[in-house]
């Protein structure tokens, strides 16, 4: 497979950002977020209704228009790492030609290295905050790769941006459903003198990413495995526990024993903060990892026990956060990131994040909703859960170093439950 770049340009907002908005302040959660990019890749099969030349022009024009609503994405991180200079510097926009048909690409079970060719890889997180790559396949199908800086957005908000861009392309006007209020999260949760992200990533090991698919029937089997309780276990909890148990087995192989380990899922604060509720449409990073501790001398290393541990800890955390002050939440966020950093140093941690129920399959640019949506892998240990197209199964994108991945994918439970 060969991907040839046809053009590269920087797209600026169609209207200049007002002077009173030229400094977008970051919150403590933006400050703590990893210095990395979030990737979404949307696959659209060809249609006789698509005029490639006309479509290219529409995509550029609508992107310019939508950036007036999401203006921080067209800016640059300031040297102090506490704000975005919203000077309309622009987002990077690439167009490519791919020398195979999309059906052939998908039938080969795409390798992560090939998927990464479909996104523009930014050179520096402070340089460009958003990169868009429009790939035209031999058959006329479009694949759109979008990479957003984690310093200014999260997965949910990146999906919202893409949906509004799609709506603008399809109709020529804003839908009014997705534009965010930039509602002073820096005032509610101001940054602190802690430097950049507390998480540092070691680059010496080769990281590989693989996709593991859990169908609706598989998840039902996991639910039966847990047994009857007085409530229904969520898909995300059931899958998270399965993967976490396999990762603990990986750690056991490396260390020779079952150690105390930490699970740190990302949790959104939207709708959960009691004293000063955070808007559902707030833009930026409105989340942080909360900590779930497995202590080998206090509980059995069993799947059912892990499900219960995840559920109990999550319930207690949500209850705590509904009553906590903004200062208490900020303090806990800093402490959580610090503990995650220590776990990384001991090489026994993988972050979990769930994009399930995100509107990633809603982006219709005028030729229908995407046939498939994927991520593009990570450069560090990470597990991302994404809905399948139907919405009742889950795709788990797991990034580990090569040796760990070999042990993980040959774990008994992974072989039994995941394809």
| Residues recognised as catalytic | 150, 364
Under 8 Å CB-to-CB from 139, ≥6 apart: which residues? Answer: 46, 101, 102, 103
Q: Given CA atoms 75, 199, 305, 318 in this order, what sign does their dihedral have? A: negative
Contact 396, 418 (CB under 8 A): yes
First vs last C-alpha separation in the chain: 25
Among the listed residues 262, 356, 255, the one whose alpha carbon sits nearest the alpha carbon of residue 309: 262
Phi and psi based region of residue 7 (left: phi greater than 0; alpha: psi -120 to 50; beta: remaining): beta
CA distance 320 to 391: 30
Per-position b or e across 191-225, b if 16+ CB within 10 A of its CB: beeeeebbbebeeeeebbbebbebbeebbeebbee
Note the Cα 307 to chain centre separation in Å: 23
Tokens representing residue 323 in the block: 């009553």
């Amino acid at each position: 497979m060969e991907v040839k770049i046809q053009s590269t340009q920087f797209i600026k907002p169609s209207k200049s950002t007002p002077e009173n908005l030229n400094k977008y302040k970051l919150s403590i959660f933006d400050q703590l977020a990893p210095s990395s990019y979030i990737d979404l890749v949307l696959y659209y099969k060809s249609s006789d209704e698509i005029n490639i030349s006309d479509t290219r022009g529409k995509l550029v024009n609508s992107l310019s228009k939508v950036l007036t609503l999401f203006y921080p994405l067209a800016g640059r991180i300031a040297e102090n790492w506490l704000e975005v200079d919203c000077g309309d510097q622009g987002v990077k926009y690439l167009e490519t030609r791919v020398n195979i048909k999309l059906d052939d690409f998908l039938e080969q079970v795409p390798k992560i290295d090939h998927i990464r060719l479909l996104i523009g890889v930014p050179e520096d997180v402070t340089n460009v905050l958003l990169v868009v790559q429009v790939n035209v396949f031999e058959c006329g199908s479009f694949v759109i790769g979008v990479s957003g800086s984690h310093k200014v957005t999260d997965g949910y908000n990146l999906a919202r941006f893409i949906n509004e861009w799609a709506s603008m392309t399809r109709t020529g006007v804003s839908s009014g459903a997705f534009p965010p209020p930039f509602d002073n999260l820096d005032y509610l949760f101001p940054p602190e003198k802690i430097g950049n992200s507390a998480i540092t990533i070691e680059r010496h090991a080769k990281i590989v990413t693989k996709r593991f698919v859990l169908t609706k029937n598989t998840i039902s089997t996991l639910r039966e495995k847990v047994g009857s309780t007085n409530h229904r276990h969520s898909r995300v909890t059931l899958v998270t526990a399965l993967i976490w148990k396999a990762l603990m087995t990986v750690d056991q192989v490396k260390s020779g024993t079952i150690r105390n380990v930490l699970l740190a899922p990302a949790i959104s604060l939207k709708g959960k903060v009691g004293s000063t509720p955070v808007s559902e449409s707030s833009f930026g990073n409105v989340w942080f990892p909360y900590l779930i501790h497995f202590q080998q001398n206090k509980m059995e290393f069993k799947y059912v026990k892990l499900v219960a541990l995840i559920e109990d800890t999550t319930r207690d955390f949500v209850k705590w956060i509904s009553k906590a002050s903004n200062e208490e939440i900020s303090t806990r966020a800093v402490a959580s990131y610090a503990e995650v950093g220590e776990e990384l140093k001991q090489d026994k941690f993988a972050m979990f994040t769930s994009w399930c129920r995100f509107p990633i399959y809603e982006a219709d640019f005028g030729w229908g909703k995407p046939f498939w949506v994927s991520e593009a892998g990570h450069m560090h240990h990470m597990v991302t859960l994404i809905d399948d197209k139907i919405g009742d199964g889950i795709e788990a994108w797991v990034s580990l170093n090569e040796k760990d991945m070999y042990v993980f994918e040959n774990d008994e439970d992974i072989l039994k439950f995941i394809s």
